[in-house]
Amino acid sequence: MDEKNLYVETWGCQLNYHRSEKITGHLSNYGYKPVEKITEADLIIFNTCAVRGKSEEKVRGRIGQVKNQRKEDSILGVGGCMAQHFGVDLFSQSGGVDFVFGTSNLGEIPDLANRARQGEPVASIPKPSGFENLPVLRQSDYFAWVTIAEGCSNACSYCIVPQVRGPLRSRGPDKIIREVEQLAENGYREVQLLGQNVNAFGKDIEKGDVDFAWLLERVAATGIPRISFTTPHPADLDAETLVVMNDNPNLVRHIHLPLQSGSTRVLQIMNRNYTREEYLEIVGKARRTDPLINITTDIIVGHPGETEEDFRKTLDVINQVKYGSIYVAQFSPRPKTRSAQMDDHVPEEEKKRRLEAVLEKQEETSREYDRQFIGKTVEVLVEGEARKDNKMYGKNEFRKTVEFEGTESMAGEFRKVRLESENTGYLLNPDEGSVKNDSDHHVKPGV
């Protein structure tokens, strides 16, 4: 088999980055070797995102740009959410694309690339269905993504995901457990379970006791040192999940709970299936179970119909919850979604003002959350060298980034760090090797 060079560029969420690892893994069985320079590639894959208009603009810009960078006989394939959304129109909208594939047919890429090499643009965009179990070429040898569910069966008014990724499809639990066991055997330190609505796992399986809490408990029992997950939906977060998180020290003390809006009226317009009060009740339960738990969130400002009073309610929730961090976005209408067809759009200037107000409030409240950790010891899974100050960085069990003085050889190890400020500290036992994650290393409330 002739060896060919493969270059993959990815936009979007963790699920998409993991799909790129599957693309690389699958294509390596067909003689493709990953390269870092697009100028050396025989096959270029753009794995795209369609959640915001901005990411689409970036992909289109990049398609134009690569015309001057790629080898003359190279093939460019565009796939992922944007390709699923625009389909064959991508050929006329963006010159230079040789083939297009969807979100649930990565297995077809080698064949599509071969056909495109004959000179004819080809496209295969089936309706998203099933679950592709493909080999994975992982980027890291200590942190691994494991997809547990694809798609989403909710219908949030602003979201394009159900259209481009299809309805919820849970992966077989035995396959998930086997994959995590193998990762543990191969020395991986953290797995992150992935799903567009990760805690809806099992809702499409007709076996009474199979749900997200059930799966989490089994994944924890594999003994893999650290487990995180993203992205849960507040309406699907049950008390059992919080109990499993609290009972198993290898589960992170972090939960990402997308609020989107602090106003029940706007949540109803968005079709989010929870009220402001229900959301705050879940947060209350999580904090009663673990007072230090890091809660992070997503917020959309300026959804059609959002008044100043609604927006103030969002600021009020931020004040009450004291999130560890917030991903905030100005509402951007996505084609064929209900929100895009709504009247009463908020002016761009006003959206911008609201976005800045959220950022300001977040700065204040997340610092308050972080300050609780000063003087305490956390356990950091070291990732690499920080950009400045010659420090190393990694994530602690709350999935907060921590910097400290160390050496590159510590990457992939657990290290105990005493925090001197919100996110910097010093190694407690600089000469000690990797520590295994267990309950003794966890910060307990009040310690």
Kindly list the residues in this chain that would bind ligand SF4 in the complex (CB under 6 A): 152, 154, 156, 159, 161-162, 196-197, 233
To the nearest whole angstrom, how small is the minimum distance from the Cβ of residue 74 to ligand SF4?
34
25 vs 32: CA distance, rounded Å: 9
State both tokens at 196. 């567009």
Between CA 423 and CA 401 the distance in angstroms is 7
DSSP 276-339: HHHHHHHHHHHHHH-TT-EEEEEEEES-TT--HHHHHHHHHHHHHH--SEEEEEE--PPTTSTG
CA distances from 300 to 172, 264, 363 (A): 33, 14, 17
Q: How far apart are CA 180 and CA 193, in angstroms?
A: 10
Burial of 97 (0-12, 13-18, 19+ CB in 10 A): buried
Min. distance of Cβ 294 from ligand SF4 in angstroms?
Answer: 20
- Looking at the Cβ atoms of 12 and 162, the one nearer to ligand SF4 is 162
Question: Nearer Cβ to ligand SF4, position 152 or 382?
Answer: 152
Judged by beta carbon, residue 10 or residue 337, the one nearer ligand SF4 is 337
The one-letter code for the residue type at 233 is H
**With respect to ligand SF4, which residue has the nearer C-beta, 160 or 215?**
160
Query: Cis peptide before 48, with omega less than 30 degrees from 0?
Result: no
CB-wise, 212 or 369, nearer to ligand SF4?
212
Closer to ligand SF4 at the Cβ: 149 or 180?
149
Least Å from the CB of residue 164 to ligand SF4: 10
Given a contact cutoff of 8 angstroms between Cβ atoms, the answer to whether 267 and 230 are in contact is: no
| Minimum distance from residue 165 beta carbon to ligand SF4 (Å) | 8
